[in-house]
């Protein structure tokens, strides 16, 4: 199958203690077109001149949230996208300022970043923000979505359409990490959907896709633990 060359992802092979940053939907299915109007595809130009992609999600007209390990020289955000080859109504907005957490990557934690858009997003039926969870109520049943690879060992199995997959959060102390949610199972994000949202039962974003660590474990930065930081970053404090 022909894959548009702009979708060739740079695999984010940052490994710490066997951890690999993630970016793909494994074992999922096509999302209903535009059913997740907060989703953003982030096109990145790196220092070496190569392009790569992360996912993110719209918070308001000015900010998109993603993972702090999605570092690049230049960013452009696509909003209102479902099929990469169908751009009608899609808004493409450059990023004027990034706000990665100042303590990333200490112990691979604090993997959260805000992107300030160079112009305001225009809210439409296909472009809408998502609310952030401000309290950790121990959600269990959640959904992750993205445009990344659909097979862990096939670098060409990229999706041109937005995929989604259900994940169940695991609170076993064996897998617990500070400021992180964890899901366990073969289905879920893997190498390629970094920065996408973990959306749970109440429709709010609880986490940011961060890394995969073998044993089918996926970790998500826990948004409720960063409420104060998010508010300050948006005010440029």
Helix (H/G/I), strand (E/B), else coil: 13: coil
Q: CB of 59 within 8 A of CB of 133?
A: no
N-to-C CA span, the chain: 47
Backbone angles phi, psi at 206, to 5 degrees: -100, -25
27: alpha, beta or left? (left if phi > 0; alpha if psi -120 to 50) = left
Catalytic residue among 111, 145, 183, 210: 111
16-19's contacts with Cβ under 8 Å and 24+ in sequence apart are 16/105, 16/107, 16/108, 17/108, 17/213, 18/213, 18/214, 19/108, 19/211, 19/212, 19/213, 19/219
Catalytic residue among 52, 183, 194, 210: 194
Catalytic residue among 21, 53, 69, 101: 69
21 assigned to active site:
no
111 assigned to active site:
yes
The tokens for 234 are: 């948006």
- CA–CA separation, 29 and 99 (whole Å): 32
CA-CA-CA-CA dihedral for 100, 200, 167, 227, to nearest 10: 20
Question: Between β-strands 91-100 and 188-193, what pairing exists: parallel, antiparallel or unpaired?
Answer: unpaired
138 assigned to active site:
no
The tokens for 220 are: 């998500």
The residues annotated as belonging to the active site are: 69, 111, 194
């Amino acid at each position: 199958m022909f894959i548009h060359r702009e979708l060739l992802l740079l695999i984010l092979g940052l490994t710490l203690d066997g951890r690999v940053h993630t970016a793909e939907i494994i074992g999922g299915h096509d999302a209903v077109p535009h059913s997740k109007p907060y989703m953003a595809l982030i096109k990145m130009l790196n220092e070496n001149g190569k392009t790569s992609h992360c996912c993110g999600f719209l918070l308001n007209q000015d900010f998109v949230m993603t993972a702090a390990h999605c570092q690049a020289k230049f960013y452009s955000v696509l909003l209102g996208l479902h099929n990469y080859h169908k751009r009608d109504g899609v808004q493409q907005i450059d990023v004027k300022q990034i706000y990665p957490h100042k303590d990333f990557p200490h112990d691979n934690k604090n993997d959260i970043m805000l992107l300030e858009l160079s112009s305001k997003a225009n809210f439409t039926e296909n472009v809408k923000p998502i609310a952030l969870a401000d309290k950790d109520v121990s959600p269990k049943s959640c959904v992750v979505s993205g445009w990344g690879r659909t097979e862990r060992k096939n670098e060409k199995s990229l999706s041109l359409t937005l995929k989604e997959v259900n994940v169940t959060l695991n609170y076993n102390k064996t897998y617990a990490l500070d400021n992180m949610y964890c899901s366990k199972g073969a289905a879920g994000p893997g190498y390629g959907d970094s920065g996408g949202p973990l959306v749970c039962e109440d429709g709010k974003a609880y986490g940011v896709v961060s890394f995969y660590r073998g044993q089918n474990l996926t970790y998500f930065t826990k948004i409720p633990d960063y409420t104060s930081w998010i508010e300050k970053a948006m005010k440029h404090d």
